[in-house]
Amino acid sequence: MRCAALRRRAAVALVVVAGAVGCMSSSETVTLVTAILPGELPAYRAVVGEFEHATGTRVMVIPQQYADVRRAIAAETAAGQGTIDLAELDVYSLAAAASDVVVLDASSLRVILDVLDPAAVRAGTIDGLRFLPHRVSWQAMIYDHAILGAPPATWDQLVAVARAHPGKIGFKGALYEGLTCDVLPFVWSAGGDGVRFDDAGARAAFGLFHELAPYVNQESATFKEGAIVEAMARGELVLHLNWPFAMSWYATQGLAPDRIRSAPLPRGPAGRATVLGGGYLGIPRHAPHPARARALLEYLLSREAQTRLGRELGWFSARRDVPVGQGGDLLAGFVAMRDAVHPRPERPDYVRRSRAWQRAFRAVVFDGGDPEKTLHDAARDAGDRG
């Protein structure tokens, strides 16, 4: 009987303590959902740990893919309640997720906004300032230095490399946004605006694609970022376009920077161009701790945090007072492209246009379509023509 009484008291005490800890945790915890890789988590946690130490607020970092983050905050909006305090989204999906996050008070963020790249801030401004750049990214050319020696610097040199190495030029040719990221830089570097399918830039770019088509690796039709990185590691490609993560991966495999290196994209008739990517932070509509989320947001965009993320994770910052490319020679090609970064067209029909670019590229490169006719059909698909 005495034992039973003791057990009852221990159980009650346990429940009280658990409840107290639970309540304490929920009032001092901020949930941050971000698309970081498993290998990046320890370093990221250490950066976030500085904020925890300074404010006494515990930060729960949840790695998720961008698509899952978008679905989660959309679900919380529909449900009218949520658990996510701060969410990171791909720059491509900001417009679609704009209604699921709150508008930030730009006047109180002036100190940060003044040091951010204006193009990066513009990408996060949709009916008001809703997202701020957690990290920015852009593509560069990744080439096999052991085979090519020097990377092609112009479109003519690119065609020459393709002819010398048939089947070894790769594009991220699957039907997804990554293909648009491979197409638009060539359109822009030929003077196109990335919106119209019939301007001189688009025609020049697709003329180039038509010329490259016989030499493109046919498996490119299904390549995405991961598959193309692996194809190059296996020696099936000598050249492709990709994001900085690829160089980090090659370095872990011992392939970079000795064999595989980064370089600026080849110069077109109007110069060089690359597409802006990256992750942006927003506070969901039903964030349980919006004030703490705002504090965490300001910390993550501070000079100290951004410098550390750049140094330890090789991330690029939108802050103009944080040096880009602290990863040494590995990211030299990316650093050289900084001034040639373009955001994707900020239009409500961007998704439709993006799909039209993707289909046009595939029609020309994989189906042998005529560039002029293909672009005409793309304009019609995008609603430019009757």
Partner 1 sequence: MERRRDPSSALLAGPLVLFLVFLLGYPMLWAVRLAFTDTLTGAVPSIENYRALWGDRLFWQATAGNLVIPLISVALELVAGVGLALLLAARMPARRLVRALVVVPFALPEIVFLAIARSILTPRGYANGVLAALGLGPIAFLVPGRATTYLTVIVVDAWHTTPVVFLIVLGALAAIPKQIHEAAELDGARGWRHLVYVTLPLLRPALIAAVLVRGLDAFRIFAAPLVLAGVEGAPVLSTYAYHQWSDYGDDGAAAATSVVLALLCVVVSVPLLGRRAARADLA
Q: Whole-angstrom Cα distance, residue 199 to residue 375?
A: 10
Closer to partner 1 by Cβ: residue 181 or 297: 181
Nearest CB to partner 1, comparing residues 148 and 175: 175
Q: How far apart are the first and last CA of the chain?
A: 88
Contacts of 86 (CB under 8 A, 6+ apart): 30, 31, 32, 33, 281, 282, 283, 284, 287, 293, 296, 297
Which amino acid type is present at position 269?
Answer: P
Contact string 185-224 vs partner 1 (x = CB under 8 A): ---------------------------------xx-xx--
Residue 74: Cβ within 10 Å count: 15
Question: Considering the rule CB under 8 A, would residue 67 count as an interface residue with partner 1?
Answer: yes
Count of positions on this chain that bind partner 1 (CB under 8 A):
22
Alpha carbon distance 330, 345 (integer Å): 29
Q: Which of 176, 198, 211, 376 binds partner 1 (CB under 8 A)?
A: 176
Check residue 366 for interaction with partner 1 (CB under 8 A). yes
CB of 234 to partner 1, least distance (A): 7
56 contacts: CB under 8 Å, gap ≥ 6: 28
| Structure-token match 């449900």, residue found | 79
Which of 58, 343, 51, 308 lies closest to 194, judged by CA? 343
* Alpha-carbon gap, residue 322 to 344, rounded angstroms: 23
Give the one residue of 138, 359, 360, 371 binding partner 1; rule: CB under 8 A: 359
Binding flags for partner 1, 130-169, as an x/- string (CB under 8 A):
----------------------------------------
Judged by CB under 8 A, the stretch of 19-27, 266-274, 286-294, 360-368 that binds partner 1 is 360-368
Give helix 303-313 / helix 290-300 axis angle, nearest 10°.
Answer: 60
For position 70 contacting partner 1 by CB under 8 A, the verdict is yes
Give residues 290-319 in contact with partner 1 (rule: CB under 8 A).
none
Could you say which of 181, 362, 371, 382 contacts partner 1 (CB under 8 A)? Answer: 362
175 binds partner 1 (CB under 8 A): yes
Stretch that binds partner 1, among 25-33, 80-88, 119-127, 362-370 (CB under 8 A): 362-370
Counting contacts by CB under 8 A, is residue 381 touching partner 1?
yes
> In terms of CB distance, is 264 or 369 closer to partner 1?
369
Q: Residues 236, 298, 312, 384: which binds partner 1 (CB under 8 A)? A: 236
Chain residues 89-108 in contact with partner 1, contact rule CB under 8 A: 93, 96
Which residues are paired to 342 by β-bridges? 275
- Please count the CA atoms within 13 angstroms of the CA of 250 that sit on its side-chain side: 29
Alpha carbon distance 255, 367 (integer Å): 33
- Omega before 257 within 30 of 0, i.e. cis: yes
* Contacts to partner 1 by CB under 8 A: 67, 70, 93, 96, 173-177, 218-219, 221-222, 234, 236, 351, 355, 359, 362, 366-367, 381
